[in-house]
Structure 1
Amino acid sequence: PSTLLRRLGSYSRRNRLYQAFQALGQVVRTLFLLRYISDAGLRRQITACTNIVEDYNRFVDWLFFGKQGVITDNDPVEQEKRLKYLDLVANAVILQNTVDISLAVQALSAEGIRIDRAALKTLSPYLTRHLKRYGDYVVDFKQIPLPLEDAISLPVQLDEM
């Protein structure tokens, strides 16, 4: 393995091993593209996954509003801290959105409205319309929330899977 990695690490285009792996990579890429072109289900699945990632990135960009989302500090430790804090805030907002959605679903169910599993799949926790990015926030650290499973039970029929 070390000899192989050393040869590949040289990045010499004349290296036969490099050329063989490059050709193999092109074959794999071509096979995937042919499958992608011919398989509508695969295209739908890739598009759906890409849309989820893009929605998350738009959500995080919306949350990271200071300095137009640019990290101006050149210190790698500070950069990593800012990204981790952004992840923490994003996860906290996603959790709160999930709780709010779950409570709304629970209230609708209590009113007698049938909850469809397919409709629940279309909901996203990346909501921002109800958030205030600026302002004062009061956090009560003495109030410990119940675990989500105990606090909210979703009224979804298990046989609808």
Structure 2
Amino acid sequence: MKRFLLAALLLLILSSCGYTMAGLNNEIPVKYYINTVHNDTIDSTIGDIMQLEAERFFLKYNELASYKQATYFMDIIISNLEYINPVLTATDQATSTYIAYNLTIIVTDIDGKEIYTWNTKTSTNFSITSDAGITLQTRDGKLKSNIEDDLTTFRLNISRKVYK
């Protein structure tokens, strides 16, 4: 009887710290396969940036899988790209610009049934310099940061759907 009580007490202490006994975790590991990244914009590099950042993001959380190992399949669509340049009237030059785009992520299960669709409109600003290379690096850095924020929000929202 003492051993049983000791084991129960130990199990209670460990479970309160977040540990679980093998076989008691009912949570299904989520693994995504990125089917496609549709870039419906005029800027071809944005699709490449999205693909690499999405792969990096889900790999960081150990949620990126091969086609055969995936529990869910993801299609990412980028559309409605806009650059908005505020122009300084004194010099007639733009010193910064806003970039905005729509992001849609469609998630399907193994049978191809759509289980979740997520949409957002994202925008960010970045400085324009006389050096086109630096301007593009700044833009790409801002895009990567926004994509990570968007994917974090997506991950939080879909976890509510998957782990009901």
Superposed pair shares fold, TM > 0.5: no
| TM-score tier (shorter) | under 0.3
Identify, as 1 or 2, the structure richer in helix: 1
Larger radius of gyration: 1
The TM-score with structure 2 as length reference comes to: 0.24
